[in-house]
Structure 1
Amino acid sequence: MPPDLHVAIVGGGLGGIALAIALKARNISFTIYEAKSAFTEIGAGINLAPNGLHALREIDASLGDRIYALATRNLPPSEDTWMWVRYGAGHRDGETVVELRAPPTGCMAMHRQELLGVLAEKMGYEHAQFNKKLVSFEQDDDAVRLRFEDDTVESASVLVGCDGIHSRVRACMFGSDSAIARPHFNSDGAYRAVIPIADAKKVFGETARQSQVLLGPNGYVIYYPVNNGTAVNVGIWVRRAGHVWDRKDWVVPRQGAQFRRDLEGWGPRVRALMPFFGAEPAFWAAHQHRVQPASFVQGRVVLMGDGAHAMPPHIGGGASQAAEDAYVLAELLASIPPKDASLAAVRAALRAAESVRMPRFLAVQDISVRAGPDWYSFFERGLEGEQLEGWSVGIKTSVEWVWNVDLRDEVSKAKQTLADSCDARSR
């Protein structure tokens, strides 16, 4: 008889720890394996959308209040606004194009490492192992066995790859040389800075205290308050159409000359930001999983989070999709009888979760990818009248579809799929 259900989570980022919390709340045994010596997240600011907060609350009800306490939001009475989209150049510089509202969260901004710390504290460390770099895995009817770089071998009923865009689990599933396993350059990237609020107000006035997107030539600028309003996180995104990324590193230092060229043609407010980026800012290249498999499940193994659907951050959807993954997957794993961790039972649960998650996260990934060119080309298109209204409605429709998901209904559909599968197997 197979052993009791035990889940191996490879990757201790936001998605992996969210899944661990969800499993803990549902009394499912797990171990989380992190390749580094501590839980860490790359990057600075993060926006948690309404669907992300909803997912975390479904994972564990106590997370909602803790995240609200951590987040920096827009000032009253604009707490429900996600972004004001404005012109960033030309004679309309500073004028509002559209206000995007996202009740009940609006723009919930926080530092990635702070959010990770809150989640890790909730999870606890008794089931975490560090310095565990996965080399390979193999599976059979009884278990999946994970082999690590330190020559240790661990067994589990389920392996969940939460190990990010460079996922080793994904590479083992599809082959390291496969186009499916390789991240692809997204033809864009950003310069980043965190600016004290006093300096940001000198540039943007009182709008420095509220989340904004500025649209200009071949790019956009996004900024929003962080650290309880004491600083402003700024990203200057630029298009690199037709550029082939042939560098090993994705963060390229000393890009001052290119930075200055990229800001030619922008309005005086955006150009006034330049000193706060330093003389030689780094360029962060954006990548995504452009080639996707027919399924993210192989037997006892499944991918989630950026390991499954790494996407550019043009609608701020990646972290929230990882939280959705964690909630749905935990609910389906909780549907497996604890004494039946057979291959058939595990595979049926994973495929049922995938039946609702895969169409959704691939659609969100597609929206995120297409949002970049929408932002980048807006200024040059010079839209007016009905065309401008149509563009604004299109942006609203896309993001509202992403934000306004009924996750409990998604879980109900997946559980019905699982039940139908079990009925079919029993006949």
Structure 2
Amino acid sequence: MRVLVVGAGISGLAAARGLIAAGHEVVVLEQAEELRLGGGAITLWYNGTAILRDLGVDLDGSGQRLTTLCLRTAGGRRVLDFDLEALADRFGSAARVIPRGSLITLLESGLPEGTVQFGARLAALQADVDGVRVRTQAGEDYSGDFLVGADGVHSRVRALVLGDGPAALTGAAIWQGLTPAPFDPGSTTTLMVGRQGDFGYMGAGDGLMQWFFDVPWSPDAPPEDKPLEMLRRRFAGWGSPVEQVLSSLADGDAELFPHTRHKVPCRWGAGRCALLGDAAHGMPPVMAQGTNQALEDVATLVECLAEVPDPGAVVGVYSAKRRRRAALASTLASHGLAVSGPRTFMQSEYLMRMNGAAPPRLATRGFGRLLSSLSSRI
């Protein structure tokens, strides 16, 4: 089968690898003129690293393996420590942080030369019972038996196939960066939660640290010319190492990404056109589920294309298999953190410490069950 994949991000390149390994001919259409290697680091949970291993992607030596997830109050008091190594033994794969550009490079390096066609911005799409046809803005035509829309939260494929609008803003945003680490965070990923929002940091390998602040945000608010000053004001009085991290940054290090959320559709496409990743279920970065859910999509779609004889019936089977878990991940990501309003009371210092009374082993087991409920791989 000849498959057209729109988008050369993580999900699109992963889909290309899986489809080629399954014996399909694949062309990836990317609107940019080259691979986009920017952005911060990606947290891969156990399902994500397992699926990448299934796709032949060797992550050893890339990024940072995680052994502990530490939850703290805004004042810096420990609430819970989750034993990520115990879960690695249970699931047979490890949690890892890796720069997005490094993962993109690893995924692309395993593709045959010429698989990715750059400068191919989608202009029109036509699908019928016999196949799909695409025209780019440059006037180039591509045809295939099936099409995969992996073109992100602002998906052109989703707009053409489902006819709906862009993902909705949630009222929050993340300021984040991948910068030289001002200290060694080791193999621990730390999340500090308070009524003003949250702050997290973790090593990403090669002396780099991924850090982020989640805060309220409105598109009507004036642009932040000095985001570091705003973050220092908002998170003043927070425990170590908030000030240390902020003091290590320079203007331009902090990038703003508004939280968005797509309604997870009942059918992830139509006819011979399927959506995956953010094109199907864009969600806030809380709990770091976006990439991991996209990789779940890839594994399931490749499986469905192998098992369902009629390409026109693949979307229905694929949607049914993936919708419940993706919708649950989206709900958890959208409601797992409050940055304003009465729900922030649950993130006060006192209640955070009260909620951290569970024994570490029990907390780790519960976290593992949560991750398992979001995956069909682990």
Question: Is TM > 0.5 for Structure 1 vs Structure 2?
Answer: yes
Matched, 1:172 2:160: yes
Deviation at 1:408, TM superposition (A): 6.1
Q: Is the 8 A contact 2:65 2:97 kept in 1?
A: yes
The one of 201, 208, 217 equivalent to 1:231 is 208
Amino acid at match of 1:285: F
Deviation at 1:213, TM superposition (A): 1.1
Q: Is the 8 A contact 1:88 1:270 kept in 2?
A: no
Corresponding position of 2:351: 383
Q: Supply the distance in 2 between the matched residues of 1:71 and 1:371 (Cα, whole angstroms).
A: 26
Q: Supply the distance in 2 between the matched residues of 1:391 and 1:379 (Cα, whole angstroms).
A: 20
Change (3 A) 1:211 1:360: same
The one of 312, 331, 343 equivalent to 1:366 is 331
Corresponding position of 1:418: none
Structure 1: state its 5+ residue gaps: 202-206, 338-344, 410-427
Q: Supply the distance in 1 between the matched residues of 2:306 and 2:36 (Cα, whole angstroms).
A: 28
Matched, 1:354 2:319: yes
TM-score normalized by the length of structure 1? 0.78
Structure 2: state its 5+ residue gaps: none
Tell me the alpha carbon deviations over residues 261-311 of structure 1, each in whole angstroms, 9 at most, x when there is no partner.
Answer: 211232253123222223576451333234343321211111101111111
The one of 54, 63, 74 equivalent to 2:50 is 54
Matched, 1:219 2:193: no
Deviation at 1:96, TM superposition (A): 3.8
SS in 2 for 1:123: coil
The one of 178, 190, 194 equivalent to 2:174 is 190
Instruction: Name the Cα RMSD after superposition.
Output: 3.0
Amino acid at match of 1:237: D
Amino acid at match of 2:208: A
Deviation at 1:215, TM superposition (A): 2.0
Corresponding position of 1:414: none
Corresponding position of 1:425: none
Q: Supply the distance in 2 between the matched residues of 1:165 and 1:190 (Cα, whole angstroms).
A: 16
Matched, 1:69 2:69: no
Amino acid at match of 1:73: R
**1:218-297 equivalence runs, <5 A:** 218-228=196-206, 230-238=207-215, 240=216, 243-246=217-220, 253-278=225-250, 282=254, 284-297=256-269
The one of 13, 29, 41 equivalent to 1:33 is 29
**1:104-119 equivalence runs, <5 A:** 104=89, 105-119=93-107
Amino acid at match of 1:366: T
Corresponding position of 2:188: 210
Q: Supply the distance in 2 between the matched residues of 1:119 and 1:275 (Cα, whole angstroms).
A: 35
Q: Supply the distance in 2 between the matched residues of 1:315 and 1:262 (Cα, whole angstroms).
A: 22
Change (3 A) 1:346 1:280: closer
Instruction: Judge which range, 393-402 or 322-331, deviates more.
Output: 393-402
4+ runs deviating over 6 angstroms: 390-396
More helix per residue: 1 or 2? 1
Q: Supply the distance in 1 between the matched residues of 2:352 and 2:314 (Cα, whole angstroms).
A: 50
TM-score normalized by the length of structure 2? 0.87
Q: Is the 8 A contact 2:129 2:312 kept in 1?
A: no
Corresponding position of 1:423: none
Q: Is the 8 A contact 2:80 2:363 kept in 1?
A: no
Corresponding position of 2:280: 308
Change (3 A) 1:261 1:31: same
Q: Is the 8 A contact 1:254 1:281 kept in 2?
A: no
Q: What number of residue pairs does the alignment pair up?
A: 369
The one of 99, 103, 110 equivalent to 2:88 is 103
More strand per residue: 1 or 2? 2
